[in-house]
């Protein structure tokens, strides 16, 4: 299980200010800290970028690449910004991502096909809600696969994000049990070794004491790892969570004595 | 997932001394600490008890019951000691346990049937080794079930311990992946909702820094919980591990908002 930093987010005031002034320093510093903390990749969450999507995404991608050659996730639904990011990037890129709304599929899937990059499909229904059952999740995944293939994207390029629900939600716990089952079964259901990614920080969105949030994160992450999750999108400044992800990797995919390499 | 204390073990010098002098105080103190730490049950690991098995097990069971009415696991392979423990006990009792050796099956299964108590079957082959594959584990479980039914024990009384391997072992990681799969599938394979128990402390037997041992324990426990483990036998003085077990319970079996009850 790789660890992808979700820290580079436009809602952080210092990042928003740096983006507005095209000031690379604070962004480089943050990305440097993420790499030091163990990030295997960086999610660039730029939001919708209604103003200057091309210039902003180009600036963000170029700034991140000044620090690291690890993969970048372009996290926006703005196709103009995505195209600019794909053109600017030298690192490996993943588009994050698409929900099954026809407009978004129509704009973004062709970009993934044109640039031959992976794209993350969200298991959300057309109303933008999480599915009400495990079965509905498979239906959405199959619809995303069909749309991807129709757009000329090889199936191996479609990744799935089953969408972790906040525990605060009334049905959050039940939904999160469904997504564990989904992650485990999607390769069989879709018929190829589909890669999966999950936003672990979503689990503890809302108002609760920090130690309790970390505890629930620590209980959930190994379950995701055991189900076969490929990438965990999380706050890499949660040092214990990153360490736990390494331990999970040693237990779930490790070769002989690989746990011995854990610091 | 219930938490069973594995702390009451004859190899602890203060316990051995207390047993030899029939001195209840230190044992009561230890059990009290275990209950305070969150133990849902107490494993009485008396060892083989070659001297005075009846008197010693009776003393141990009566002493534990002075402190708690929670379930007791009688953890010995000595049938004379088991019978004495079953006769002395007022609390619920589980016999821990049997390996598929004909002699042990022949001595212990009839006791479980006579006293109508659950007995834990170990997934070990007749040579006393862990199975070399997941498939061999199912074969052993089926053989245990057949032996239990032949002895007149209702199948629901047979629990299974798939035997966690130390990570120190060359094949430890691979074996522990097998046991996750076994725990998940045993109810289907055996055809009844078989209860499972696992000795979590085994995972980190051997020489390694304590923080690393705790980390590996923390990564493994949620995987066991997600697979459906019913009882985790562990050192309940590992406060973080007990807390993690409660969080796992909220995620895997909890009802609406049950995570909110986590302290």
Cα–Cα separations (whole angstroms), residue B31 to A70, B47, B69, B97? 52, 18, 11, 21
Write down the pTM of the prediction.
Answer: 0.95
Cα A235 from Cα A219, distance rounded (Å): 16
Determine the residue among A242, A251, A254, A256 to mutate to test chain B binding: the one whose Cβ has the most chain B Cβ atoms within 10 Å.
A251
pLDDT digits (tens, 9 = 90+) for B84-138: 999 999 999 999 999 988 888 899 999 999 999 999 999 999 888 999 999 999 9
Determine the residue among B219, B241, B261 to mutate to test chain A binding: the one whose Cβ has the most chain A Cβ atoms within 10 Å.
B219
Least confident of A57-66, A101-110, B233-242: A101-110
With beta carbons under 8 A apart, name residues in chain B contacting A247.
Answer: 215-216, 218-219
pLDDT of residue A256: 63
pLDDT band, residue A95 (cuts 50/70/90): very high
Query: Domains of chain A, with CATH numbers?
Result: 2-261 (3.20.20.20)
Answer whether B219 touches A (CB < 8 Å).
yes
Span A230-238, mean pLDDT? 97
Q: Is the pLDDT of residue B260 over 90?
A: no
pLDDT band, residue A163 (cuts 50/70/90): very high
Q: Is the pLDDT of residue B41 over 80?
A: yes
Chain B closest-CA separation from residue A87 CA (Å): 40
Prediction ipTM score:
0.93
User: Do residue B252 and residue A177 have CB atoms under 8 angstroms apart?
Assistant: yes
Least confident of A91-95, A169-173, B244-248: A169-173
Which among A75, A20, A81 has a CA at the least distance from the CA of A50? A81
Cα B5 from Cα B200, distance rounded (Å): 11
pLDDT digits (tens, 9 = 90+) for A53-73: 999 999 999 999 999 999 999
pLDDT of residue B102: 83
Residue A240, helix vs strand vs coil: helix
pLDDT band, residue A218 (cuts 50/70/90): very high
Name the strands in the sheet holding A197-199, side by side, starting at the edge strand that comes first in the sequence.
A158-161, A119-122, A93-98, A72-75, A41-45, A2-5, A231-234, A197-199
pLDDT band, residue B255 (cuts 50/70/90): low
With beta carbons under 8 A apart, name residues in chain B contacting A255.
Answer: 173
H helix count then E strand count, chain B: 9, 8
User: Do residue B256 and residue A173 have CB atoms under 8 angstroms apart?
Assistant: yes
pLDDT digits (tens, 9 = 90+) for B141-176: 999 999 999 999 999 999 999 999 999 888 899 999
pLDDT digits (tens, 9 = 90+) for B16-34: 999 999 999 999 999 999 9
pLDDT of residue B256: 63
Q: Is the pLDDT of residue B261 over 80?
A: no
């Amino acid at each position: 299980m790789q660890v992808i930093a979700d820290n580079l987010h436009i809602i952080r005031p210092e990042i928003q200010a740096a983006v507005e002034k095209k000031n690379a320093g604070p962004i480089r510093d943050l990305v440097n800290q993420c790499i030091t903390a163990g990030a295997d990749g960086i999610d660039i969450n730029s939001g919708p970028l209604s103003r200057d999507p091309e210039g902003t995404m180009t600036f963000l991608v170029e700034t991140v690449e000044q620090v690291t050659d690890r993969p970048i996730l372009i996290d926006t639904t703005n196709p103009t910004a995505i195209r600019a990011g794909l053109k600017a990037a030298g690192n490996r890129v993943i588009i994050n991502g698409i929900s099954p709304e026809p407009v978004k599929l129509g704009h973004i899937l062709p970009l993934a096909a044109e640039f031959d990059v992976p794209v993350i499909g969200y298991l959300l229904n057309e109303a933008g809600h999480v599915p009400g059952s495990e079965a509905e999740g498979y239906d959405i995944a199959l619809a995303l696969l069909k749309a991807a293939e129709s757009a000329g994207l090889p199936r191996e390029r479609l990744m799935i994000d089953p969408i972790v629900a906040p525990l605060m939600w009334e049905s959050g716990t039940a939904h999160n049990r469904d997504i564990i089952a989904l992650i485990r079964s999607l390769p069989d259901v879709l018929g190829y070794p589909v890669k999966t990614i999950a936003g672990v920080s979503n689990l503890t969105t809302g108002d609760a004491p920090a130690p309790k949030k970390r505890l629930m994160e620590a209980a959930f992450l190994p379950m995701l790892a055991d189900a076969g999750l490929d990438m965990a999108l999380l706050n890499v400044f949660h040092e214990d969570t990153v360490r736990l992800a390494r331990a999970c990797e040693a237990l779930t995919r490790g070769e002989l004595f690989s746990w011995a390499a854990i610091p």
